[in-house]
């Protein structure tokens, strides 16, 4: 099989042996695979794949067809359209995934949209509802609202009845984020003056944290799931105590199978019906063939996009 491959800090396409599914696993013929910030960090040497995942093939999410099943894998049949979060190896023509991590692809999604769904919508849903316990009528602030997780979070928050505000650096993208359900879309500078917010979803990183705390309502919650702008911040604990607030953080990639399976079942219950009905959608900024993986990574790193960059297999 061909796969995007990291060699000496560069990304290129190489041939690899075809993987084979083990007990409870499924071999997926990948049709599309989204790019995420973790892929860029891995390329730069800062985020190695967890044990059990290919160390040199990036890719945290994929969509495709079941090509074969290992022993005791019974949840899906050959030919079924499936998608999943994986620890790595998604940006390849073939990938092995445990069946408990797989989700059915809603009929309403084409391959690029499906390939850009699992990581961002699972991350956003887990952060907003499992961690932050976002409720109807609460005020939600989403930083980096034009990115993949950001666009998912804006839509999921709005669909749950929250009043959503987003920050977007590029002026030309603000109207589009508003169309996804944000009641207000701000430039990042000075966002703390527009609170109070019950929940802040931090997708940018350390520079925002002092402002996040200032903008927080009493009893508010900050959830950190992105640190592209930096990962060390100074936190005023007295202010945190005074607001009876909390701050948490999370990643999906290193979680054990049981926890990843739980997030997949939550997606099936709460998010896939929204995607099928069209109440939420997957904005795809651009698609690239696997052969153009280096160009795809360069486009991702350049920023200034709405939604996902997706590799498609031909």
38-63 b/e (C-beta count within 10 Å ≥ 16 → b): bbbebbeeebebeeebbeebbbbbbb
Torsion of CA 194, 200, 201, 204, to 10 degrees: 60
Are 238 and 129 found together in one domain? yes
Report pLDDT for 245.
96
Q: Which of 263, 204, 255, 211 is nearest to 234 (CA)?
A: 211
Number of domains into which the chain is organized: 2
Task: Pick the last residue of a domain from 207, 229, 249.
Answer: 249
pTM above 0.85, yes or no: yes
Are 22 and 96 found together in one domain? yes
Q: Is the peptide bond before 196 cis (omega within 30 degrees of 0)?
A: yes
Q: How far is CA 252 from the centre of its chain?
A: 9
Are 288 and 195 found together in one domain? no
Domain of residue 285, CATH code: 3.90.180.10
Are 192 and 308 found together in one domain? no
Are 195 and 162 found together in one domain? yes
Q: How many CA atoms lie within 13 A of 198 on its CB side?
A: 16
Are 109 and 202 found together in one domain? no
Task: Pick the last residue of a domain from 218, 249, 280.
Answer: 249
Sole residue written with tokens 């839509």: 155
Are 127 and 218 found together in one domain? yes
Q: What is the pLDDT along the chain (314 residues), one digit of tens a residue?
A: 999 999 999 999 999 999 999 999 999 999 999 999 999 989 998 888 888 899 999 999 999 999 999 999 999 999 999 999 999 999 999 999 999 999 999 999 999 999 999 999 999 999 999 999 999 999 999 999 999 999 999 999 999 999 999 999 999 999 999 999 999 999 999 999 999 999 999 999 889 999 999 999 999 999 999 888 788 988 899 999 999 999 999 888 888 989 999 999 999 999 999 999 999 999 999 999 999 999 999 999 999 999 999 999 97
> DSSP string of 131-196?
IS---TT-EEEETTTTSHHHHHHHHHHHHTT-EEEEE-SSGGGHHHHHHTT-SEEE-STTGGGG--
Q: Which residue range forms the structural domain that includes residue 62? A: 2-117+256-312
Are 108 and 20 found together in one domain? yes
- CA separation for the pair 312, 112 (Å, rounded): 7
Are 124 and 79 found together in one domain? no
Cα Dmax for the chain: 57
> The tokens of 245 are what?
């607030």
Residue 65 neighbours by CB under 8 Å, 6+ apart: 28, 29, 31, 79, 80, 81, 82
Q: Which of 90, 30, 81, 27 is nearest to 54 (CA)?
A: 90
């Amino acid at each position: 099989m061909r796969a995007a491959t990291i060699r000496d800090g560069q990304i290129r396409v190489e041939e690899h042996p075809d993987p084979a599914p083990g007990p409870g696993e499924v071999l997926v013929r990948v049709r599309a695979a989204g790019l995420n910030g973790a892929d860029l960090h891995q390329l730069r040497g800062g985020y190695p794949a967890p044990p059990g995942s290919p160390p040199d093939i990036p890719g945290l999410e994929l969509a495709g067809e079941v090509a074969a099943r290992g022993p005791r894998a019974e949840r899906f049949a050959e030919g079924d359209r499936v998608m999943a979060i994986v620890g790595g190896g998604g940006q390849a023509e073939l990938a092995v995934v445990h069946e408990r991590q797989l989700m059915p692809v809603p009929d309403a999604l084409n391959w690029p949209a499906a390939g850009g769904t699992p990581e961002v919508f699972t991350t956003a849903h887990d952060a907003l509802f499992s961690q932050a316990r976002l409720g109807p009528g609460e005020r939600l602030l989403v930083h980096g609202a034009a990115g993949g997780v950001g666009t998912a979070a804006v839509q999921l928050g709005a669909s749950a009845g929250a009043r959503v505000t987003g920050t977007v650096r590029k002026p030309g993208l603000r109207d589009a984020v508003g169309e996804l359900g944000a009641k207000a879309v701000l430039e990042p500078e000075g966002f703390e003056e527009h609170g109070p917010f019950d929940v802040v979803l931090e997708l940018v990183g350390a520079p925002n944290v002092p402002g996040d705390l200032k903008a927080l309502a009493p009893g508010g919650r900050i959830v950190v799931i992105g640190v592209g702008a930096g990962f060390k911040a100074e936190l005023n604990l007295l202010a945190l105590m005074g607001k009876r607030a909390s701050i948490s953080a999370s990643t999906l990639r290193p979680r054990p199978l049981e926890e990843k399976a739980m997030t997949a079942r939550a997606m099936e219950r709460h998010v896939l019906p929204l995607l099928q009905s069209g109440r939420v959608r997957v904005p795809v900024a651009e698609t690239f063939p696997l052969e153009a993986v280096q160009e795809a990574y360069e486009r991702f790193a350049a920023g200034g996009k709405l939604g996902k960059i997706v590799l498609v297999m031909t």
